[in-house]
Amino acid sequence: PTAGTFAAVEATANTDGSFTATTVKSATPGDSDQNVIDYQAITTSAVGADAVLHFKVANQSYSFTIGSTADLGDFNNNARTIGTNLHIKVEVQFNGSTGAVIKVGNSNN
């Protein structure tokens, strides 16, 4: 892809917290996944009343609010059932530099 265009990237997390791109290609125009990052992660604490999901990928920690319309089907649509040390798949949609969780699932599904 040329500079300034959307790209679809797949990356692998390194133990030092950096990421290595394994695939880079031009994004499909109009793709509904633009501005969405998929993480395979481990939760670092249970989700509380604040509806914030805390997780880590390699040694990098992340925290994002779970959106009110997020798909939580693997957790009976109840964010409070997401506990500590769970292997999960997370989709985070960004608006500028602000991200919100739009889906959380068990990593084995």
The residue ranges of every structural domain in the chain are 1-30, 35-106
Question: What pLDDT, on the 0 to 100 scale, is given for residue 1?
Answer: 65
| CATH 2.40.50.320 describes domain 35-106 | yes
Higher pLDDT, 40 or 34: 40
Kindly report the pTM of this predicted structure.
Answer: 0.88
Instruction: Report the C-alpha gap between 51 and 78 in whole angstroms.
Output: 10
Lowest mean pLDDT among 12-26, 41-55, 67-81, 82-96: 12-26
- Give the phi and the psi of residue 81 in degrees, each rounded to 5: -90, 0
**At a CB cut-off of 8 Å and minimum separation 6, what does 60 contact?**
13, 17
